[in-house]
Structure 1
């Protein structure tokens, strides 16, 4: 996934990992990020409420809340770099309101703020999320998050497709961020994020590609393209929306989501823009390709977002070239693909 992101031109990524079977640890993802060179925000996810207690996850994948908090503290103290230009940071990330207890949400918020790290979870992804929160806690997802201390400029929530208008205003007022995952939302038929409405209110929004459970592509430019097109489709659902739909999201709006938007959601003023004093994170694309022929002549940004989403010719992170002429510089891609396919075959044979 990290290799695919780098090849698409992504320089910084956050990963929400919340299931730890067979002795795996978040440290494994951290070591992978070190290997490929990606700027990384590793979030220590968790599940503590299994099906027996009315939660979503199977009971065998949940952890005790004591163990979750202990390991989260270990990860922060071992890996988190608070300095400007940091290549690695840790965030605290209970999975969702339907897989952890209210007490873990509160304790996680307190733990994160005692260390000055960020908070992340899933919220209002689909109608089931809204129904669960109303039935279990007698409130909306945004109200539930606020009651737990999970609104603020140090918090970002994934999806938020079904957030209500009042919740959007609370997000804007508190500068709570949103990770918009359009391909995942379309694949799972979760709904369409009210993206234009959020941006107009001042909600910080960045892009997420989600994971292989709901999106088989880790391509940042493609995600930006889909966010733009989906925002236009949402506008088209209004009466005569076809007249104003294209203005709901322009290519430059989408590019901003993929750059400064993501940086803002992650609380990083040192990345996401080409400005003196910011990190040397760049993605360069060839404009003389067949896919961009014609369009790139008069509007390179428009062509990049509206035409076929190709790979970056060069990607730099912190000044280091990690992709050159469309190939990774630190990792041989062919053995990586072979290993990935072998593991996939092993996994499929084990469950068939």
Structure 2
């Protein structure tokens, strides 16, 4: 069947096989995903994200995850949907998830593919925490140079920073460690529970991985224990427009990522935006301030875009075509 589809639709054999496999999954053990697709809540690409994320487990486990997705498809883009599927897989099949994580870690590799015109591509498959740390370090180096007036693009600066770090160039000399946040609740940290942790910008991680990071004496991570924190300001009123470093860190911990629904950029690499503008009476406090990455911070001022925040600080974004998207900090609302 896949061969016939490929001939009739100008698809490659591999692409046709993927379409057939997706169709079989949707019509057998992913009925909720199929229903969401038929209702127009997601497209075929988003459905394929669910299928690919569950292809590593049995049909029974995949079906259980699919049932838990019911009512959660709306206003989720494909990356956000896949993150949710992975979080559900961790909860439905924790032992299998940890086994697959260990297998992935053992299979880590670096590959080079040489292309045309003197350009090559490096592919690295490695644990998410290490990948996030490498990207964050290069992003920080790039941002520092951009602020000094460097005319290279951020993509160019990040790549050049990676090369400098790997080859021992001046870009890595005396650099402070990148700010990476790993969230873990206290009972899980103490081994009393096995709740997933969260690697900011990546999503949920297994409790084993979170504990390993938290107790590593050489860890570069900022371990965030989810309990009331002391020593951080709660409200600065209208005495200051720019929050001090303590308030900034509090907001980074509280929001974790850019407040724009579907954006996973870690909060430590964002701007702090006043929900109610300072000139309109908005305060510099934990409810009125929220992290927005530079792209979405600029987008807020574009015609037709509306950013509204309720009393709890939850952000709803309305696009020029009238569709609304609401921030979901936990991913399980």
Instruction: Please give the TM-score of this superposition, normalised by the length of structure 2.
Output: 0.31
Instruction: Please give the TM-score of this superposition, normalised by the length of structure 1.
Output: 0.30
Q: Bigger relative contact order, structure 1 or 2, given CA contacts below 8 A and separation 6+?
A: 1
